[in-house]
Structure 1
Amino acid sequence: MKDKPQHPDSPEDRSGIGLLRKPVQWLVLIALSAPLAIFFEIAGIPAGLMMGPMLAGVVVAINGGTIRLPRIFFFGVQIVLAMMIAGMVSPNLIDTFLSRWPIFLAIVLSVIAMSTLSGWVITRMGILPGTTAIWGSSAGAASTMLVMGGAYGADVRLVAFMQYLRVVFVATLATLIGHFGGHQAMAPDSVPFFGPFDLQAFALTLGVGIGAGILGRLLRIPAGSFLAPFGVGALLSLTGTIHVELPPWLLATAFAFLGWSIGLGFTRSILLHARRAFVPTVISIVVLLAFSGLLAYLLVIGLGIDPMTAYLATSPGGLDSIAVIAASSNVDLSFVMALQTARLVIITLLGPLIARFVADRA
């Protein structure tokens, strides 16, 4: 007789930190996150409030942690980050895109082509089962690729591993480049962490963000929970209709939640399942990052773009983590967001079609 399948969170499957009650696991996560975030901030590393919790989340997850950030919290994180960026963009965001759209389109399509080639090579070499590598290598729109890959018979766990490992690599490399390349984290505002703030403007900011986020999801806009509040908030902010008000403690909480949502995804079971694919995945990510770096270099020498701005603009996702790093650095935020938004929309629209086309021939 076959053994009865066990629930992933059953006591028999738990070990390490997973043996602790979930409230205790959260306390362990917070206890690890706080000193790491403080250290990164003192060291002047961009987005230290995100990178510290992300690293702590990875440590907890690979040591058996079973906690996960609830989806409603991640929705709130996207709202807060979208409205934060909306209040920071300059009026030339649309002009930046319209004046350089051929370059943006060429960069996005080049990154898509390189990521698709990497997935095709891994698939043809038989390293991963079926078409998993093609969906996992797609440069962006991770949630879309998970759904499409699962419907197409790919191993969803491996697709998730490949997608989110790239996010960790991109975010880590961007922070290192920002730190050692002379782009120190922006000096914090003089506003006290728990100081007074405009309650009416704060309520209006959250109201606009939540309403636009829900609308974006209902209309099935690609990454609608982020892009819809970002678009609506930027429009209202630039026209002076609203003043984006987000207290420092809320932004710090959103950064930490984003880091946790990434780090806690690297569970021990997923890592064990993906151990055979680890080296090929890392190689494909390094190749894609090197290619993105080449594109950034071309932007620097061709258009005179600041190196850090060029790198963040050409990085292959994720949009939310790149937005946090860009907002924490002295870069051209409008240029970064214009190219990253274009990449996300194009990869969401064309990515599944391209992946399916290549998968049929792989």
Structure 2
Amino acid sequence: MPFQATRRWLGLVLLTLALSLPMALLHLPAPTLLGSIVAGVALGLAGQRVRVPMSAFMLSQALLGFMIARACPLPVFAELMRHWEVFLLGVTSVIVLSVGLGWQLARWKLLPGSTAIWGSFPGAASAMTLLAGEFGADVRLVALMQYLRVVMVATLMMAVSGVVGGAGNPPAGLLADWLAPVDGWGLALTLLGATLAAGGAWRWRPPGGALVLGLAGGVLMQDVAGQAVVLPPWLLAAAALCLGWSIGLRFDRAVVRHAVRVLPRLFAVLALLLLLCSGMAGLLVLWMGIDPLTAYLAMSPGGADSVALIAASSHVDAPFVMAMQTGRLLAVLAVGPAVARWVSRRSSPAQ
């Protein structure tokens, strides 16, 4: 590795540590993810080019898919689906709000129709960006919209957790978890499954990518083969680092210059989407008695992968959050292409 690249990687790691450790001491949720995102944004905007290997990014997403499967096994998901009306509301309302705002962005001629829709869709940000390129959208603007929303969701999460509680576990508890013995056989099988999922995503590029393949692999391993998914905290921290750096480093000068004309209005539209989704979360609190932090994460339009990491490190109903996020991701993968084509056709005369 050339000296300049080594120096930049060292700077990225040190900055991430400097940001993540205070967050952990303050008991903020997902300090590794949040610290790596902020560090990546700082280096990206400073013009320091650092690239996370795609193989590492896909493996991290596959591991997050296994984490979702572990937190929300099929029996738990079936129990949650007894309240089908809540899931129908949670899944469809955020999709409808997102598509509506994307439609308005296209009508206002701020963005082309396909770009506006794929940028507005809730789901895994990396999956939406990948699919956007296949349907003729501007991948740079879609990535900016998706990852800017993830950053906004994570930032608001810190504020919400500070108001209502539910922050992460104390550092001492985390340290004990890191040093706890690990089932070597289960860990090896989990890593093998995640590697196969990442390899399959690399080879075939399915909708949802390594996250969905990892989720399917985790379900097969846990609910069909009866083998527990083993994900020690240090492995999830490594996955969070790869995901956070991949998100933050996308905010480079070229992307910002490309989007500078629409960036203020884009930020305002995304803020409105977060406000509307927070209002829907408030309805869950009032109608269902769900705690505010769980409701916020369940209704969050951020990426399913990043929200899963935040939920896993917070005192929330993680199965409920992950079931809602996973259901929404699968719904978007099912209807997204058709909706994007329809909006693109409808808005093309106005572009």
TM-score by length of 1: 0.86
Between 1:24-33 and 1:188-197, the stretch displaced more is 188-197
Name the counterpart of 1:33.
Answer: 16
State the Cα deviation string for residues 80-134 of structure 1 (Å, max 9, x = none).
Answer: 2233343344664222443123332233222222222212222222233565323
Q: Return the alpha-carbon distance in structure 2 between the equivalents of residues 140 and 254 of structure 1.
A: 18
Query: Does residue 348 of structure 1 match 2:333?
Result: yes
Gaps of 5+ in 2: none
Confirm whether residue 296 of structure 1 aligns to residue 281 of structure 2: yes
1:188-227 aligned within 5 A: 188-189=173-174, 191=176, 193=178, 196-215=181-200, 222-227=207-212
8 A contact 2:168–2:314 mirrored in 1: yes
Give 1:237 shift: 3.5
**8 A Cα contact 2:99 2:121, kept in partner:** yes
Q: Which letter maps to 2:314?
A: S
Distance 1:196 1:90, change over 3 A: same
Check conservation: 2:59, 2:194, Cα contact below 8 A: no
What's 1:119 paired with?
102
Aligned residues: 344
Give CA-to-partner distance per residue, 1:202-228, whole Å, 9 cap, x none: 212212333345456767653242233
Q: 1:29 to 1:218 in 2, by over 3 A?
A: closer
Higher helix share: 2
Q: Which has the higher contact order (CA 8 A, sep 6+)?
A: 2
When the two structures are superposed, what TM-score results if normalisation uses the length of structure 2?
A: 0.88
Match of 2:152 in 1: 169
Pair 1:144–1:229, CA change in 2 (3 A): closer
For 2:175 and 2:111, the matched residues in 1 are separated by 51
**Structure 1: segments with no counterpart, 5+ residues:** 1-18
Which of residues 22, 26, 38 is equivalent to 2:5? 22
Larger radius of gyration: 1
* Matched residue type, 2:253: R
The aligned runs of 1:65-84 (5 Å cut-off) are 65-84=48-67
Does the C-alpha gap of structure 1 residues 97 and 355 become closer, same or farther in structure 2, counting only changes over 3 Å? farther
What corresponds to 1:337 in structure 2? 322
What is the aligned-residue RMSD (CA, Å)?
2.6
Q: Which residue of 2 aligns with 1:359?
A: 344
SS of 2:272's partner is: helix
SS of the residue corresponding to residue 241 of structure 1 reads coil
Shift, 1:136, TM fit:
1.9
